[in-house]
Amino acid sequence: MYVLRLLYIDTAVKSKLMDEWVLPESHTKHRVAIDRLEQLRVFLLASEGSKEQSYKLNPKFQKQLRQALASGGAPPKDPLPSNIAVRLPSSAELDSYAMKQWEGVLLQLVSTAFPESSHDISRDRFVIETFQRAKLLDSGMKLTEAGFQFLLMDTSYQLWQIVREYISATEDRGINNVELIRFLLELGFHVVGQPYNRDTLSNTEQTVLEELKVLGLVQLQQGMKHRWFIPTKLATNLATSLSDVSSRYQSDGFIIIETNFRLYAYTSSKLQIQILRLFARIEYLLPNLTVGTLNRESIQTAFASGISADQIITFLQQNAHPYYAQKQPSVPETVSDQIRLWETDSNRVKLVPACYYDDFPSMEIFESVCTFAGDRNGLVWQDSSKRRLIVQADLHDEIHVDIVSTQDYAKSILQCVIISLKGCACNFYIL
């Protein structure tokens, strides 16, 4: 509505005038829409010498949209007739297929954290390369901190991140970037569950379809004479903002967490079980039930992998069993509070690689080194009375050169040892 109202207006429209387009009770949504259009640079903020804000359409966008409406664009693709595509899956079957494919993709990622359970997981080269480009996997095929966090994200956020990296990699693979983006946006507006002709697609689009099949965005079928693809619900995320789809494609909740930190997961999904293993100790695996416990050790392991307390709690809330999801809060406060306390405890102690210096020949040299290290934010600890100090290890070479270059004696009795600071305990390793 906003775009069409300004489409044939070449001058800026005052914000106060635009506020009159909506009812007073819709003013909040109105401002959100204006801000969103401004972020997308569809609306440009125009200054005409007054303090009041004014907006106008982006001239390039305005010109192209006028041209498209006046001359018409390519007609939208119509689904194939029912007499050609005769073996279409039901809505439930299509949803099951999409989630099975998507879980297979994520299993390729989570299996790197649990190598003992990855022997039966097939790997797709373009998926692994996409994970590495997104820095979810390192060069040694190990799950990174970002990878651990990625596994606890919402499905829509995961899909958008993968698709973004997939698009950025197309130039290296000889695929036309513009053609790919156009096809993905077009796919997002197709009707879910309806068949569309594959035989009229270009070679690039045919290649992309085969890879989108792996992600679960489409299902490919063929008959005696024709071939077609069927968009799934995952494909509709490509044409919708993240804020609109954050909970649109979520599986039913399956987790029950009790106040005694006992966890019950009513699932047989390999992916969901593997994700639970990231922060819970699994005790029993039954055909459709997984029983585990949240304890200090399992939660600390998750923190060491880069997962935060809020991410764990959010995952438990988003996947809470429907009966518990109606309660407030769906995760007992004793559990969420304890998880946050464990996170605070893990951040209380910090390991600092450092160098220890003593036996300074004079107070002048000692103060010089303290000043030198302090100016570079590398001073960890000092004891002026006994001329002892500890600095960060990466400053050792600079400090040694500084002392030697400013004193007449090159061989000082400066002693340097590498230590690891953990509470009051120090482990000394003489260099």
The rounded distance, in Å, linking the Cα atoms of 60 and 55 is: 15
For the chain, list the domains and their CATH numbers.
Answer: 2-71 (1.10.10), 91-239 (no CATH), 255-346 (no CATH), 354-420 (3.30.70.2610)
Element (H, E) at 165: helix 155-168
The rounded distance, in Å, linking the Cα atoms of 85 and 227 is: 8
CA 3 to chain centre: 31
Q: What is the pLDDT of residue 399?
A: 74
Q: Are 243 and 206 in contact (CB under 8 A)?
A: no
Q: What is the pLDDT of residue 122?
A: 63
Alpha carbon of 357 to those of 353, 365, 407: distances in Å? 14, 12, 17
Q: What is the pLDDT of residue 413?
A: 38
List per-residue pLDDT tens for the chain, 431 residues long: 888 888 888 888 888 888 888 888 888 888 888 888 888 888 988 865 556 788 889 988 888 888 877 765 555 677 888 778 778 899 999 999 999 999 999 998 888 877 665 545 667 788 888 899 899 998 888 889 899 999 988 888 898 889 888 888 877 777 778 888 888 888 888 889 999 999 889 888 998 999 999 999 999 998 888 899 999 999 887 766 544 444 444 457 899 999 999 999 999 998 999 999 999 999 999 999 999 999 999 999 999 888 999 999 999 998 999 888 887 788 999 999 999 999 988 776 667 788 888 888 888 888 888 888 888 888 888 998 888 988 888 888 777 665 555 544 334 434 443 333 333 334 333 33
Q: What is the pLDDT of residue 320?
A: 92
Q: Which two tokens stand for residue 339?
A: 């998880």
Pick from 266, 263, 260, 288: which is nearest to 277 by CA?
263
Q: What is the pLDDT of residue 74?
A: 56
- Sign of the dihedral defined by the CA atoms of residues 148, 162, 117, 288, in that order: positive
Q: What is the pLDDT of residue 93?
A: 95
Beta bridge partners of 391: 355, 379
Q: What is the pLDDT of residue 281?
A: 96
Q: What is the pLDDT of residue 38?
A: 87
Q: What is the pLDDT of residue 82?
A: 78
Q: Are 298 and 342 in contact (CB under 8 A)?
A: no
Alpha carbon of 104 to those of 63, 214, 256, 277: distances in Å? 44, 8, 25, 17
